[in-house]
């Protein structure tokens, strides 16, 4: 039986119950009805439960998803999704500005994103203790290089299996160029978006591009739900809200880099572009995470600021009373006060893991900020801290690598043991980009920085 992931109503309902509590709605009465009918909890790590639900449970889940959407939120005033309202809540919203990025820096950003992503892939979905155990067994803790199965006892590999989609291409002994994945596909789509529509693109332009160029099977979580919504005739931005419990997860954040790269020195413009992209699939903190990331990257892209200035620029576009703002402030303060990053990670997990799914934007963005802060923007330190912190390891490594790559300034400044296995080659099913080198992608990105 085909169990399509991330769209079955009976699987979405449990995620929506959790999301309701996070965004200030009270779902207890609806949850009681679901439990009384025998409704299951959401799958903890997989995208679908192993067995199908009865027709009755599926129809009930659809009704309850709609009822949950109608519940009032106590956080609505502090966590809007519309750009005008977001800007009105941000007293330090940055002024428009201009800067220059170099092809060398942009190549380092693309390459850094790929390296950080590749580092995190084998351990995606693994719990924190498994990541630490596997790395220690290989003599790679604290992390300094790619994960490997060489030297790891068989009993540990059986107890903590690598991510099945990634181990064959992302363990150190298997890397042969950059394999395909959504963390690189989405930046390629964003580059294609700018090539076709320029920086004045609309959210509807993003939707049309996806329908033309993005196979549905290459989407996950919020993106898959929004794609389904498009196919049923729902238009943006309602695509982000209709039966979409993943609307505050990390998907919009991983689409934000190109918006920062193409607006060097202008975090406001980068954040506004990221908002228009994110609005197709996400709301509130899911959107803020993308805006934060784009603003950080835009500030880093000029090569004239340290990582702490870049992070402050990102924080300036996040509504100050939002959950993400509080998480970012906590994470940065924690990273500044603790010498041992393991202690930072343990405290972040203690605070956020009980209530949040491992792909939720709030804890993952906080971890990225903590990693960059603690490593002081150093490339190896940033990606290794981001991945060693668990949760969405490949996405966190990718974003940390993008920022730290820009700060390094050139691909040659990134250590050879990270660069060499990628062979300046990226695999993808997006448009005609398969096999493209990171140097070529840098030049294509640079062309878009000057477009209006």
**Annotated binding site: which residue ranges?**
392, 394-395
Q: Looking at 112-241, which runs of residues are DSSP E strands?
A: none
Report how far residue 382's alpha carbon sits from residue 261's, in angstroms, rounded to the nearest whole number.
19
Give Cα 62 distance to the centre of its chain.
Answer: 27
89's tokens: 């809540």
Binding residues for Mg(2+): 392, 394-395
Report how far residue 415's alpha carbon sits from residue 40's, in angstroms, rounded to the nearest whole number.
47
Length of the chain measured in residues: 452
Residue 85 contacts residue 287 (beta carbons within 8 Å):
no
156's tokens: 């540990």
Report how far residue 102's alpha carbon sits from residue 248's, in angstroms, rounded to the nearest whole number.
33
17's tokens: 């119950």
* Angle between helices 379-388 and 393-408 in degrees, nearest 10: 170
Angle at 395 between CA 391 and CA 397, to 5 degrees: 90
| The CA-based dihedral angle spanning residues 390, 391, 392, 398, taken in that order and rounded to the nearest 10 degrees | -40
Residue 295 contacts residue 258 (beta carbons within 8 Å):
no
Which residue matches tokens 């079955």?
A: 8
Give Cα 20 distance to the centre of its chain.
Answer: 21
φ and ψ at residue 61, rounded to 5 degrees: -60, -40
């Amino acid at each position: 039986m085909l169990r399509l992931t991330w769209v079955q109503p009976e699987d979405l309902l449990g995620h929506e119950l959790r999301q309701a509590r996070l965004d200030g709605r009270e779902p207890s009465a609806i949850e009681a009805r679901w439990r009384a009918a025998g409704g299951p909890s959401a799958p903890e790590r997989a995208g679908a439960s192993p067995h199908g639900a009865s027709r009755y449970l599926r129809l009930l889940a659809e009704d309850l998803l709609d009822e949950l959407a109608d519940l009032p939120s106590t956080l609505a005033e502090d966590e809007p999704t519309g750009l005008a309202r977001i800007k009105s809540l941000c007293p330090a919203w940055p002024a428009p500005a201009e800067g220059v990025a170099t092809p060398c820096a942009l190549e380092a950003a693309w390459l850094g994103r790929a390296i950080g992503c590749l580092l995190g892939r084998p351990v995606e979905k693994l719990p924190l203790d498994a990541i630490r155990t596997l790395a220690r067994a290989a003599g790679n803790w604290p992390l300094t290089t790619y994960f490997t199965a060489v030297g790891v006892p068989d009993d540990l590999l059986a107890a903590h299996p690598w991510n099945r989609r990634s181990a064959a291409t992302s363990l150190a002994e298997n890397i042969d160029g950059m394999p395909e994945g959504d963390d690189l596909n989405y930046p390629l789509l964003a580059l294609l978006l700018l090539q076709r529509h320029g920086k004045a693109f609309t959210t509807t332009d993003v939707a049309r591009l996806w329908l033309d160029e993005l196979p549905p099977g290459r989407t996950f979580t919020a993106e898959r739900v929004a794609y389904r919504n498009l196919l049923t005739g729902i238009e943006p931005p309602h695509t982000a809200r209709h039966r979409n419990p993943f609307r505050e997860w990390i998907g919009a954040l991983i689409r934000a880099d190109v918006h920062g790269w193409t607006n060097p020195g202008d975090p406001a413009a980068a954040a506004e572009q990221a908002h228009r992209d994110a609005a197709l699939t996400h709301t509130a903190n899911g959107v803020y995470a993308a805006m934060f990331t784009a603003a950080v990257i835009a500030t880093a892209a000029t090569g004239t600021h340290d990582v702490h200035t870049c992070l402050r620029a990102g924080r300036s576009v996040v509504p100050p009373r939002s959950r993400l703002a509080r998480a970012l402030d906590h994470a940065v303060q924690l990273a500044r006060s603790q010498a041992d990053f393991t202690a930072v990670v343990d405290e972040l997990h203690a605070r956020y893991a009980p209530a949040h799914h491992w792909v939720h934007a709030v804890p993952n963005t906080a971890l990225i900020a903590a990693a960059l802060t603690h490593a002081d923007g150093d490339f190896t330190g940033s990606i290794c801290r981001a991945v060693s912190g668990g949760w969405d390891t490949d996405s966190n490594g990718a974003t940390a690598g993008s920022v730290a790559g820009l700060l390094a300034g050139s691909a040659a400044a990134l250590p050879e043991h990270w660069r060499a296995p990628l062979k300046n080659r990226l695999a993808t099913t997006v448009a005609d980009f398969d096999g493209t080198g990171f140097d070529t992608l840098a030049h294509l990105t640079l062309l878009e920085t000057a477009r209006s």
